[in-house]
Chain A
C-alpha cells in the first residue's frame, strides 16, 4: 500500500482536464496522492459524507482519503489500520491519500496530537457506516437477514458458510451516498486483529533506500529555483536592490514584489550564488527587546486582559500549624522548531488557478489564506501535501509555500523555494517565551492547601484564519494580521487535590518574534513549572515525591502511570536529599506526572541525572516513562512518538534558546542553536499501557510536557539546587550551584 507509482508521465494537457490545475511530473516515482490527484475526477469532500473518506475501488482495494497528514508520526499505517479493522479487509488492501485540498476532506490541521483521536475517529465512523451499508447490500442480494452475514477479507458472506460477495462486486467504483452514521456499530475491541498490532510503517523502506519523494525532491517541468533574501532586520523595508551585483551569474534574475526580494535561476546552485552575491539595502527594522531583560519585561507588560482560567475551592481557610508557604518563578525561552531540512515548497500560479505543493500541516486551512493573497477563488487554489523535514508544529513550511506562490505568479513559471539553514532558524515562527509564577502552601501531612499559578503568555487573535505568513506581508498582499502561539495556557494547574487552585493568565498583546505552535504548545513550560513546584512542596515537608503525588490523586489511570514509572526506576521512597558528589559528579533522580490537557493522555516520567559540579554540565543517564493513551492503534508507532517526545524535549530543556540582538535572530546555525546529539542520549525505558476499550488519545506530544520537571527534579535531588530557567546550559547551572543565579 502507498506503493510508489513507477514511471509516471503525464502530458500537461491530460492533467489540466480535471478542472483543478496540476502540472506534469519529471520525477520517476511519485506517491499515490499525487498520481491520483493528477487524474482524479472531482470528489466528495464534505466530512459528513462517507464517500469523502472512503472509496471501494473496482479491484476490491479501498482508498482512504485523509485530511490529516503523516509528518513521520505514522498515520500512513495507523489510519489504514483503523479503517481496515472496521471494514473487515486486510490492511494491505488499503491505499492512503493525504492532505490534498482537491481529494481529501478538511479534517483540520494535523496538530495538537489529534491525528488519531479526532481524524482517525472520523474515519473509523465512516468505515463503520460503510461496513453496515456493505452488509445491507449483501443481505438484499443474497436475500438473507443482515445479522446472518459476516465480513472477512473484503467479502460479505453468510455465517452459515456459503460463498460471499466481494466489496468490489457490491460497490466497486461506485459511491455509498451515505452520511456518516454516528450510531453505526463499531467493532468490538476484543475482536480486533489489526488495531493494536505493531505493523510496519509503509514509508520506512523508501526512506532507507533514498526513494521517498520529499517536498524537497519535487521537480516540475519548467521550474525555476529561487532563494528569498530576508531583511537584514525584523520589520525592515527594502530600500534598493543592485541588480548588477548578480550580472555575472548566468541565468540568474532578481524578483522583487515590494519588500519580498528573491533571486531565481534555472539551477539551484546559480540561485544560491546569486543570493550570496546580491547587494540590497534595507531600512532599520522595527526593533526587538533586549534579550537579557525579556523575562522581566513579560512580567512588567500591562497586557491586554487578565483572565481567571481555573478557580476551584476556596483559599481563605485557616492554614494549619506547620504549613509551609512557597513562591517560585519559572521561565521558558523562545525556541525554534529546529527542522533538519530547511523549509521548501513548489508553486505553479497561473492567471486563473494555482497549485501549491507544501509540507504544511494544514493544507485545507491554508486554501483560503492562499486564495486571499493570490486574489483567486478558493476553489481555484489547490494545496497538495508532500512530506517535508519534520516540523513539530508550524515551522517555515507554509512561509516557503507562500514565497513560492507569490514568486511563481511574478515570473509566470513554477517556482521552487528552498530556505537556507539561516532562514529556518532565523525566520521560522517561534515557540513564545513563557513566564510562570506559582505560589502555594502545603500542610505537614502533605495536603496542598492553596495554589495560584500566574501565566504571562501571548493571546491568540480571535478568528485568525492562519498564522500570518512572511511573504504576503512583505509583498503588500491581502492577509489577516494577528498571532497564534497555540493552546499555551493549558496544564497551568496541578492534577492533585488542593484546598484551592487558581490559574490566572496575564494575556499579552504580542510576542518578541512571530509566535506559532511548537510541539505540545505551552505545556512543556507549564508542566515544568507545576511539576517542579509540586516537588518543591514535597521537599518542604520532607515527603517522598512519588508518595506526595499519589496522596493527591484519585484517578486510577493517573495513579497507575506514576506507580509504573516508579517501578521502572526501582524507586525507593525517601525524601529528597543532596547527594554527596563523587569526583565532583552528583547523581539524583526525579519524577513528574502529566495528565495532558487534564483530559487526554497520562504520562509518568522519571529521570536519573549526573551533574558535574565543576562545569555545570548535566547528563541525563536514564529515562523511564509509563504512558497511557487509551486504546493503542499501533504500539510501535506510539513508542517511536514517545521516544521522540522525550529526546526532543530533553534537547529543548538542556540547550535550546533563540538568541537575538536588537534587530534580528542571531542563533541561526547548529553552533549557535545547538540541539541534542548522540553523546547526550540516555537509556530510555518506556512502558505503554494499552486500554483497548478506552478512547484512543494522542501520543505525539503528551510526553514532551513531563520532561522538564522530571529533569529539574532530578537535578534538585542530586544537588539541592532548583533550576527554574530553561535551558539548563552549563554556565547557568554552574551559577545556580554556586548560588550566583
Chain B
C-alpha cells in the first residue's frame, strides 16, 4: 500500500491507499472533511472544488497520487466561526445558500479568484464561477457576496 503525504488545512496527513487513482474527494471525506461535496464525478459542476497550492481544483478529478507533497485547503480550513474568511462572512450576511450543496465549491472558487484578483469586477466573478453550478438560483447573491468580500458594493 502506497503512502501519500498531504498537507490538509495546515495539518500533515499521511494517506495509505493501494489505489493511486483514488480521487482526492474521497480522501478528504474519509478524513471527515465533508464540506467538500460529490456532485457529478465528472468535473462539470464544481461542488467538490478545493484549493491545491492556492488554485481552485475539482477534487473529484484529482488523483491522490497527484497531490503527494501538496497543500490542500477545504472550506473547513478556509475559516471558522471564530475566525471566518471574508467570503464566509459575506456569504452569511448576504444569506446566500438555500440548500447550500454548491456553497462550499462556490466559496472555494471565489477564494482562488480573490487570491489573484483583489478587486474583481462583476464580470470577473461571473467568469471565475461559471463552472460552479447552482440549482436553487442563488447566483445573484453569490456575486453580491464576492463583491462584498472584496470590499466592494455589489
Produce 1/0 per residue, A199-217, CB < 8 A to B.
Answer: 0110111011111111011
Contacts of A205 in B (CB 8 A): 81, 92
Contacts of A211 in B (CB 8 A): 35, 76
A644 contact from B23, B26, B130, B138, Cβ within 8 A: B138
**How many Å from the CB of A415 to the closest CB on chain B?**
17
Q: Does B119 belong to the interface (CB within 8 Å)?
A: no
Given contact pairs A200-B95, A339-B135, A418 touches B38 in the complex (Cβ within 8 A): yes
Q: Does B75 belong to the interface (CB within 8 Å)?
A: yes
Q: Roughly how many angstroms separate A342 CA and B42 CA in the complex, as a whole number?
A: 13
Contacts of A341 in B (CB 8 A): 37-39, 47, 101
Q: Does A533 belong to the interface (CB within 8 Å)?
A: no
Q: Roughly how many angstroms separate A636 CA and B144 CA in the complex, as a whole number?
A: 15
**CB-based nearest A residue for B75:** A210
Given contact pairs A209-B75, A268-B26, A679-B126, A340 touches B45 in the complex (Cβ within 8 A): yes
Q: Considering residues B41, B47, B79, which has the most beta carbons from chain A within 10 angstroms of its beta carbon?
A: B41
**CB-based nearest B residue for A269:** B26
Q: Does B151 belong to the interface (CB within 8 Å)?
A: no
Q: Does A569 belong to the interface (CB within 8 Å)?
A: no
Q: Roughly how many angstroms separate A250 CA and B16 CA in the complex, as a whole number?
A: 15
B133 adjacent to A209 (CB under 8 Å): no
A421 adjacent to B26 (CB under 8 Å): no
A670 contact from B22, B42, B104, B143, Cβ within 8 A: B42
Q: Does B80 belong to the interface (CB within 8 Å)?
A: yes
Contacts of B100 in A (CB 8 A): 72, 203-204, 207-208, 212
Q: Does B140 belong to the interface (CB within 8 Å)?
A: yes
Q: Roughly how many angstroms separate A250 CA and B17 CA in the complex, as a whole number?
A: 12
Q: Does A647 belong to the interface (CB within 8 Å)?
A: yes
Produce 1/0 per residue, A403-429, CB < 8 A to B.
Answer: 000000000000000101100000000
A208 contact from B19, B107, B136, B137, Cβ within 8 A: B107
Q: Does A49 belong to the interface (CB within 8 Å)?
A: no
A390 adjacent to B101 (CB under 8 Å): yes
Q: Roughly how many angstroms separate A209 CA and B96 CA in the complex, as a whole number?
A: 13
Given contact pairs A207-B103, A390-B98, A644-B98, A420 touches B137 in the complex (Cβ within 8 A): no
Produce 1/0 per residue, B122-142, CB < 8 A to A.
Answer: 000111011111111111111
Q: Does A242 belong to the interface (CB within 8 Å)?
A: no
Given contact pairs A269-B23, A339-B135, A640-B95, A210 touches B40 in the complex (Cβ within 8 A): no
Given contact pairs A209-B76, A338-B135, A669-B42, A267 touches B101 in the complex (Cβ within 8 A): no
Produce 1/0 per residue, B21-39, CB < 8 A to A.
Answer: 0110010011011111111
Contacts of A390 in B (CB 8 A): 98-99, 101, 135-136
Q: Roughly how many angstroms separate A268 CA and B135 CA in the complex, as a whole number?
A: 25
Q: Does A392 belong to the interface (CB within 8 Å)?
A: yes
Please give the number of chain B residues whose Cβ is less than 8 angstroms from any Cβ of chain A in the complex: 60
**How many Å from the CB of B83 to the closest CB on chain A?**
11
Q: Does A531 belong to the interface (CB within 8 Å)?
A: no
Q: Roughly how many angstroms separate A582 CA and B114 CA in the complex, as a whole number?
A: 36
**How many Å from the CB of B134 to the closest CB on chain A?**
7
A210 adjacent to B34 (CB under 8 Å): yes
B22 contact from A71, A269, A651, Cβ within 8 A: A269
**How many Å from the CB of B12 to the closest CB on chain A?**
21
**CB-based nearest B residue for A201:** B95
Q: Roughly how many angstroms separate A676 CA and B139 CA in the complex, as a whole number?
A: 10
Contacts of B104 in A (CB 8 A): 210
A636 adjacent to B95 (CB under 8 Å): yes
B101 contact from A213, A268, A340, A681, Cβ within 8 A: A340
Q: Does A371 belong to the interface (CB within 8 Å)?
A: no
B133 adjacent to A677 (CB under 8 Å): yes
B137 adjacent to A675 (CB under 8 Å): no
B134 adjacent to A340 (CB under 8 Å): yes
Q: Roughly how many angstroms separate A648 CA and B40 CA in the complex, as a whole number?
A: 19
**How many Å from the CB of A197 to the closest CB on chain B?**
13
A644 adjacent to B136 (CB under 8 Å): yes
Q: Roughly how many angstroms separate A681 CA and B144 CA in the complex, as a whole number?
A: 13
B22 adjacent to A216 (CB under 8 Å): no
Q: Does A361 belong to the interface (CB within 8 Å)?
A: no
Q: Roughly how many angstroms separate A388 CA and B38 CA in the complex, as a whole number?
A: 12
Q: Does B49 belong to the interface (CB within 8 Å)?
A: no
B34 adjacent to A643 (CB under 8 Å): no
Q: Roughly how many angstroms separate A203 CA and B97 CA in the complex, as a whole number?
A: 9
Q: Does A646 belong to the interface (CB within 8 Å)?
A: yes
Q: Roughly how many angstroms separate A269 CA and B139 CA in the complex, as a whole number?
A: 32
Contacts of B138 in A (CB 8 A): 640, 643-644
The 6 A-B residue pairs whose C-beta atoms are closest, nearest first, are: A210-B35, A647-B137, A207-B100, A390-B99, A72-B99, A644-B137
29 A-B residue pairs with CB within 8 Å = A73-B98, A200-B92, A200-B95, A208-B84, A208-B88, A208-B92, A208-B100, A209-B81, A210-B34, A212-B100, A272-B26, A338-B135, A340-B45, A340-B47, A340-B102, A340-B133, A341-B39, A387-B99, A389-B135, A390-B135, A421-B41, A421-B42, A643-B141, A645-B137, A676-B137, A676-B139, A678-B127, A681-B126, A681-B143
Which residue numbers of A lie inside 8 Å of B, CB to CB? Answer: 28, 71-74, 200-201, 203-205, 207-214, 216-217, 250, 267-269, 272-273, 338-342, 387-390, 392, 418, 420-421, 636, 640, 643-648, 651, 669-671, 675-679, 681, 684
For the complex with contacts A211-B35, A340-B135, A392-B135, 7 further pairs of A-B residues with Cβ separation under 8 Å are A73-B98, A208-B96, A340-B47, A340-B133, A640-B98, A640-B141, A670-B133
